[in-house]
Copies of this chain bind each other. A is one copy, B any other.
């Protein structure tokens, strides 16, 4: 038998391919991420990646997972940079927005509406779960400090839906030209905080 690939070699190739895909996404947009371009980037034949990934969807799932991982990292760093719960929420929110706008190709891919069921890709489930956990942690801060009443998971999702909704409307070009995206985000956050503070 030939040099059987060690698990670490497999992992290394998968990571190199992922990095190449991210580079192509960021520099030439989604339509540049083709099996042939990826292969060229790695100096390998177009069929080689199929030894390491089931198919292109499998590759995209890995790229999504890697995106969610960087996303979670950014939010965790923001989380740790503040102590006051409202300031923590604001910092996490800023990190969120920053990621979505600066790495918008990654963000688009991560939240694509036509992606296969993420349950089929365990590392994607883990990575996106980690990002979600950050938002729940931040919501818990608001609750523990009395800034909000209710279930932390629900509150996290309310804030998340708002932020994500505004961002994707912006990215899709659907916001009214009369509405400034970042003013909208500020108004949304203020409004939600007011609503969450009430205990009736």
**Chain A: number of interface residues, binned into ranges:** 35 or more
Q: How far is the CB of A145 from chain B (nearest CB, A)?
A: 17
Which residues of B sit under 8 angstroms from A162, Cβ to Cβ? Answer: 158, 161-162, 165, 188
Assess whether B173 is in contact with A165, with CB atoms less than 8 Å apart: no
A187-B153 in contact given A164-B168, A168-B111, A172-B111 (Cβ < 8 Å): no
Chain A residues in the interface with B (C-beta under 8 A): 30, 108, 111-115, 117-119, 128, 132, 150, 153-154, 157-158, 160-166, 168-169, 171-176, 178-179, 183-184, 187-188, 190-196, 198, 200
Q: Which of B114, B165, B168, B184 contacts A30 (CB 8 A)?
A: B114
Q: Which of B165, B171, B178 contacts A113 (CB 8 A)?
A: B171
Q: How far is the CA of A187 from the CA of B198 in the complex (A)?
A: 13
Q: How far is the CA of A100 from the CA of B59 in the complex (A)?
A: 29
Q: Which of B114, B166, B179, B193 contacts A165 (CB 8 A)?
A: B166
Which B residue's beta carbon lies closest to that of A115? B172
Which B residue's beta carbon lies closest to that of A183? B154
Sample (20) of A-B pairs whose CB atoms are under 8 Å apart? A30-B114, A108-B113, A111-B168, A113-B168, A113-B171, A115-B172, A153-B178, A154-B179, A154-B184, A157-B179, A158-B188, A160-B165, A161-B162, A161-B165, A161-B188, A163-B165, A164-B168, A165-B165, A193-B195, A194-B200
